[in-house]
Chains A and B, each alone.
Chain A
C-alpha cells in the first residue's frame, strides 16, 4: 500500500491514481479471505478429483493413476449407495418432524400470558447444546447398556431397523431450539393489521392458520427446511457417539463412510465418495434456489 501518487495539476491523472489506489486497497482487503478460500475450499476440490483418479496399494506406499474407473465404481457401488440411502432416511426422519415440532412450540408460545418468557426460554434451550453434547444426552436415553429407554423396542440401537431412527431423534431434539426460535420470530413479524383483517374474514382458527399464517411464514419454513436438510447431510457426531455406524452398517451415513473413523476405506474411495457428497450438496443447493425463487411468498 506504499504507492504514492504524484500530485499533478491534471485532475484526470489524479482520478486515475485514486482509482488504482482504491483497486489495490480492495484487493488487499480481500487477500486474506481469498487465501483461505483458495487453499481450504477450492484447492481441496482439485485434490479430491486427483485422489479419486489414483488407487492406493494395500500398504498405502504408492498410488498409481487409474483414471476415472475408481470414481465410477465407487459412485455406483453398494457402499456409497447405502450411505446415500441412510443420509436420505436421516433427512426424512428429521426434516418434516423438526419443522412440525418447531411450529407446534412456536404457536403454543406465541401468546400473551404471564410467564410466557419462561416457556420461550425453555423451548429455545437446546440451542445451548452442541451435536456432541446432544449425542451424550441421548446416550443417557437410548444407549443399549445404560439408556433409560434401552428396553423400548422402537428406539432400540441394537436393532438395524430402528437404530438410525433412534439416532435421528437426537438431531430432532437438538434442532428444536433453532426451529422454535425461527418460527416464533417469523410469527411475531406478521403485521397486526394482517391478523386483524384476517379475523374479519371469519375463518376458524385452523383455516386461519393454514390460509393466512402458513403462507406468511413460508419463507422461514423454507429457510428451516434448507437448514435441516443440510444438517441431515452433515450428521456425524450423533452416529459416532451413539452407534459408531452399527449395528452392522445400518447407521453409516454418507459422511460417516467418508470420515471413516475405523479406517477401512482407502483414500481414493473416500475422495470419490466426497465428490458424490459434493454433487448431492450442489443438487440440494440448486433445489433450494429454485424453490426459494419461485414458490415462497415474500412480503416486501
Chain B
C-alpha cells in the first residue's frame, strides 16, 4: 500500500533515480492488480451482459444456437414492444406516481417530526420518540397480512392511496434528519429568534437549507426503497392496470418462452431510473447507503 500510494504518474514520468528492478516489480504489481480488478469486474458484470444480449436476441433462436455469448437474430424493437404492448409504460407511470407521493410525504413528515424532536420541548416527547423507534420492529413484511386487510376494508386495493399510505412516514427519515438538525449550531436558533423568525420560518428558511446534505441523502434512499418495493405492491394490487413496474416484471417472466425477452427488456427499462440516479446523485447515494455504517 505504502509504495503504491507514491506512484501516481505513469512509469515514463518517473524522474527520481531508482534502484534497478524496482520499476519493473512495481509495474508487475500494478499489472497484477489490473488483471485481478478486471476479473472481478467481469464476474460482477456478466449477469448484466447476459441480460442485455438475451433481451435483444430472439429467444428461440438463441436457445437453438446453443446459448452463445453473443446476440442471435437481434430484435431491436423488443424495447418498444415491452414499453407499449407489454404495458410497461403504464406500470412505469404507476411506479412514478407512487414514488413521488411517497418521497414528498416522507420529506414532510420526516422534516416536521425531526424538527419537533430536535428543537421543541413538549410533554410525552420521550414516549413519542419510543413510538418512532418501535416502528423499526414492525417492517411491512411483518404487518403485511393485517395491512392488506385494512387497505381492503378501506376500498384502497388498486389505488394510489393503497400503494403509498403505509409508507408516508418513516422512522429512518425522522432519525437521519433529526441528526442533521442536532448538528446545527445551537446559537443559530437564538439568532433566528432575534431576527423575528418563528419556528416555521426557522425550519424552512434556516434549518432545512443547512441540513440539505443529510436531507438529500435521505431522499435518495427514500426514492430507492419506494421504487424498488415488491412485497407490498404485489399484495395491494389485484388488477394488471395497477401493477408497479417491479410487479409487471414478474408478470412478464410468466409469459411464453418465445416472448421471454420482453421480460429481459423490461428489466433494463425498470432499472434505467436507478442508473440515472446512480450517475447524477452518486455522492448522495453513497452517503445515504453508508449512513450508520461509518462514523463521521
Chain A positions within 8 Å of B, measured between CB atoms, are 19, 22-27, 29-30, 32-37, 39-45, 47-48, 51, 104-105, 108-109, 111-114, 116, 119, 122-133, 135-141, 145-146, 148, 173, 176, 178, 181-182, 185-186, 189, 195-196, 199, 205, 219-220, 223-224, 230, 233-234, 236-237, 240-241, 255, 258-259, 261, 267, 270-271, 274, 277-278, 281-282, 285, 298-299
**In the bound complex, do residue B131 and residue A199 qualify as a contact, i.e. CB atoms below 8 Å apart?**
no
Complex formed: what's the CA distance from A114 to B12 in Å? Answer: 14
Q: In the assembled complex, which residues on chain B have CB atoms less than 8 Å from the CB atom of A126?
A: 44
The answer to whether the Cβ of B267 comes within 8 Å of any Cβ in the partner chain is yes
Closest 10 CB pairs of A and B: A26-B122, A44-B146, A130-B228, A47-B146, A44-B143, A23-B122, A40-B166, A33-B169, A26-B120, A36-B169
Q: How extensive is the interface on chain B, given as a class?
A: 35 or more
The answer to whether the Cβ of B41 comes within 8 Å of any Cβ in the partner chain is yes
The answer to whether the Cβ of B10 comes within 8 Å of any Cβ in the partner chain is yes
> Which of B15-23, B70-78, B180-188, B230-238 sits within the interface?
B230-238
Complex formed: what's the CA distance from A22 to B122 in Å? Answer: 7
**In the bound complex, do residue A109 and residue B123 qualify as a contact, i.e. CB atoms below 8 Å apart?**
no
The answer to whether the Cβ of B7 comes within 8 Å of any Cβ in the partner chain is yes
**In the bound complex, do residue A255 and residue B143 qualify as a contact, i.e. CB atoms below 8 Å apart?**
no
Question: Which residue of chain B has the shortest Cβ distance to A151 in the bound complex?
Answer: B67
Question: Which residue of chain B has the shortest Cβ distance to A217 in the bound complex?
Answer: B294
Give B261-280 as 1s and 0s: 1 = Cβ < 8 Å from A's Cβ atoms. Answer: 00110110011001101100
Given contacts A139-B263, A270-B145, A271-B146, 15 further A-B pairs with CB under 8 A are A22-B120, A25-B120, A40-B165, A47-B150, A125-B278, A128-B278, A131-B228, A139-B264, A182-B289, A186-B290, A196-B2, A234-B141, A237-B246, A274-B145, A278-B142
**In the bound complex, do residue A220 and residue B293 qualify as a contact, i.e. CB atoms below 8 Å apart?**
yes
Query: Which chain B residues numbered 221 to 235 have a C-beta less than 8 Å away from chain A?
Result: 224, 227-228, 230-231, 234-235
Indicate which residue in A125, A181, A195 contacts B45 across the interface (CB closer than 8 Å): A125
The answer to whether the Cβ of B249 comes within 8 Å of any Cβ in the partner chain is yes
**In the bound complex, do residue B295 and residue A299 qualify as a contact, i.e. CB atoms below 8 Å apart?**
yes
Complex formed: what's the CA distance from A87 to B174 in Å? Answer: 30
Chain B positions within 8 Å of A, measured between CB atoms, are 1-2, 4-5, 7-8, 10, 30, 33-34, 36-37, 40-41, 44-45, 47-48, 50-51, 54, 59, 63, 67, 108-110, 112-113, 115-116, 120-123, 125, 128, 131-132, 134-139, 141-147, 149-150, 165-166, 168-169, 171, 174, 199, 224, 227-228, 230-231, 234-235, 246-247, 249-250, 252-253, 257, 260, 263-264, 266-267, 270-271, 274-275, 277-278, 285-286, 289-290, 292-296
